[in-house]
Amino acid sequence: MSQSYELKAEARERVGKGSARAIRRNGKIPAVIYGDKDAPISITLPYKEVFMKIHAGGFLTTIATIDVDGKKIKVLPKDYQLDPVRDFLMHVDFLRIGKGTVVTVNVPVHFINEETAPGIKRGGVLNVVRHEVEFTCPATAIPEYIEVDLAGMDIGDSAHISAVKLPEGVEPTITDRDFTIATVAAPAGLKSEEAAEGEEAGSEEKEGEGEE
């Protein structure tokens, strides 16, 4: 799990588009804290600090503490909105974390032993089907990433979720199948050669049929 951090916030009474625009003009960002059977709290946060946390990576899988006028609340960022044109941060939603809170998160996939995989050494290409996998897990035990071991994988082999060792309490949201995370595909040159060989074999068969 990524290292936690703290943000200082101010409670805001006024909400709406006009209030949000005024907040952004002052170098801050509107946000809301909700969940854990408590009333939502509208807050403002320093724009630069939040923007940097988002672009540092792991923002949506890292628990934070928000100090709202002296009251510290543990939260997990659940969503944020960017201006579609300017890529400007518009708003952030935080889920309040209580005892036993279970969350749904997308966890990045890391690959190991790629350089020793037989298929890669033969010129095969790692085809990543899922760069992230969605899991349910305790909010206090979100994995920073999951690890897929490519050792022994040859061209045509696939890595499935069943081959991944998951921490206790971490469960994939897809439960009806052993879904694929990555495959080792044949290089383009090899595919072309196989296709050409197949065409040649087909032509020879047709010629043989004509001779009968």
The domain ranges of the chain are 5-98, 104-192
pLDDT at 189: 63
> Which pLDDT band, with edges at 50, 70 and 90, does 199 fall under?
low
Asked whether residue 29 carries a pLDDT value surpassing 90, the answer given is yes
Contacts (Cβ under 8 Å, ≥6 apart) of 172: 133, 134, 135, 161, 166, 179
**Which segments within 36-174 are labelled E, that is strand?**
38-46, 64-68, 71-82, 89-96, 102-112, 125-128, 132-138, 146-149, 158-160, 171-172
Q: Is residue 183's pLDDT more than 70?
A: yes
CATH homologous superfamily of 5-98: Ribosomal Protein L25; Chain P (2.40.240.10)
Tell me the one-letter amino acid at 41: I
Identical fold for domains 5-98 and 104-192, yes or no, is no
Query: Distance between CA 25 and CA 28 in Å, rounded?
Result: 7
Long-range contacts of 43-52 (CB under 8 A, 24+ apart): 43/9, 43/10, 43/11, 43/12, 43/68, 44/9, 44/10, 44/12, 45/7, 45/8, 45/9, 45/92, 46/7, 46/8, 47/89, 49/7, 50/7, 50/89, 50/92, 51/89
According to CATH, the superfamily of the domain at 104-192 is: Ribosomal protein L25, C-terminal domain (2.170.120.20)
Collapsing DSSP to helix, strand or coil, 10 comes out as strand
pLDDT in tens, 61-111: 999 999 999 999 999 999 999 988 888 899 999 999 998 899 999 999 999
| Single-letter code of the amino acid located at 97 | I
The pLDDT tens digits of the residues spanning 109-120 come to 999 999 999 999
* Helix segments in 40-187, DSSP class H: 47-56, 118-121
32-41 pLDDT tens trace: 999 988 999 9
pTM, 2 dp: 0.77
Q: How far apart are CA 127 and CA 89, in angstroms?
A: 32
Contact of 105 with 138, CB cutoff 8 Å:
no
* pLDDT per residue as tens digits for the range 128-159: 999 999 999 999 899 999 999 999 999 999 99
Residue/partner pairs of 2-5 with CB below 8 Å, 24 or more apart:
2/58, 2/61, 2/62, 2/144, 3/62, 4/62, 4/63, 4/64, 4/65, 5/53, 5/62, 5/64, 5/65
